[in-house]
Amino acid sequence: MLVRSTNLTLLLVVAMAIPACSAFAQPPTRSDPKDWSEHFPPHHMIGNIYYVGSRGLAAYLITTPQGHILINSNLKTSVPLLRESIEKLGFHFADIKILLISHAHFDHDGSSAEIKKLTGAKYMVMDADVPVVESGGESDFQYGDDPALRYPATKVDRVLHDGDEVRLGDTVLVAHLTAGHTRGCTTWSMKVQNAGKIYSVVIVGSPNVNPGYKLVNNARYPEIARDYERGFQVLKSLPRRIEETESGLVCAATTSTNGPIENPAQACGCGNFLRTNTAQPRVFWLRAWRLFLPARLPD
């Protein structure tokens, strides 16, 4: 349940789901990185948000008394790992009522069809990613020609548009279009209560330009550069909000290739740091965010 507070504390959970997604990662290949399927301890993050992904691919369970929301279904082989993580936390896989994704790449939406079948969850996807998930990746502008990167086509139950809300119980997520990585790449925001404070949480889709992406004269995605630019502006607005409220930031990106992060300056590139260091002072994450954004985003 959410409680309103005049002292709104802002907390960002940046969940850049990866490799087809990371500036540091490899492009999708026929042999997936090992850590994409490597177990990682599921754990509570903040409020009603739990980490249930693998070491290399993020997935988040948002729990409510009315059932749960899962963000990212990951690889088409990921269901056993997701189920085990959820059950270890004491929740029921079958209670997933809504399935969301960060974007339509095989490493984040590969199990969506199976999860729908097993749980009856409603699949809600940003409009511009709908043709991709409903074709099992075949209509993807970059990877659609490679059968190895396909996955079971999945019917979307609700088509989302920029700014739409997804509600379950008292939980409300807002879908922000941050396109470029895919046409419908989605950054999610929500408010949670934790230890008597209200936090704003942001789960970033992916701002990354994958190897091989053409930003100019891309016949299959002519507006790609414009979309990235707009998406960067949306993401850049987030730390400004933190500064205005003198609040902190948690960065929970995931990585498939960097492994556990030792250098705090890399924190925003890699969620492993957050997942293993959740007690870090929030001001640290604000610094990490500042380190990350100026280096990678145009003004």
* Closest CB to Zn ion among residues 41, 211: 211
Phi/psi-derived region of residue 217, left when phi > 0, alpha when psi is between -120 and 50, beta in every other case: left
Smallest gap from residue 21 Cβ to Zn ion (A)? 4
**Tokens 């490597």 label which residue?**
38
For residue 78, what is the DSSP state? -
Q: Between 21 and 274, whose beta carbon lies closer to Zn ion?
A: 21
Q: Which residue, 29 or 245, is less far from Zn ion as judged by CB? A: 29
Spatial CA neighbour of 115 closest among 148, 146, 150, 157: 157
What would the x/- binding string for Zn ion be over residues 20 to 39, using CB under 5 A?
Answer: xx------------------
126 counts as binding Zn ion under rule CB under 5 A: no
Which token pair is 130?
């709908």
In the bound complex, what is the minimum distance in angstroms from residue 56's beta carbon to Zn ion? 13
Total binding residues toward Zn ion, as defined by CB under 5 A = 3
Residue 224 interacting with Zn ion (CB under 5 A): no
Q: What's the min distance (Å) between Cβ of 188 and Zn ion?
A: 15
Q: Answer yes or no whether residue 121 interacts with Zn ion by CB under 5 A.
A: no
**For residue 122, what are the β-bridge partners?**
98
Residue 133 engages Zn ion in binding (rule: CB under 5 A)? no
CB nearer to Zn ion: give 223 or 243: 223
Give the C-alpha distances (Å, rounded to integers) separating 66 from 1, 97, 116, 118, 160: 11, 8, 17, 18, 21
> For residues 28 and 110, what is the distance between their CA atoms, to the nearest angstrom?
13
User: Considering beta carbons, is residue 87 or 146 the nearer one to Zn ion?
Assistant: 146
Q: Which is nearer to Zn ion, 21 or 59 (CB)?
A: 21
Give every CB contact of residue 256 below 8 A, 6+ residues apart in sequence: 18, 19, 22, 25, 26, 33, 35, 36, 56, 57
**Minimal distance in Å, beta carbon 275 to Zn ion?**
19
Which positions from 87 through 106 interact with Zn ion, judged by CB under 5 A?
105
The tokens for 46 are 């903040």
Residues of this chain that bind Zn ion (CB under 5 A): 20-21, 105
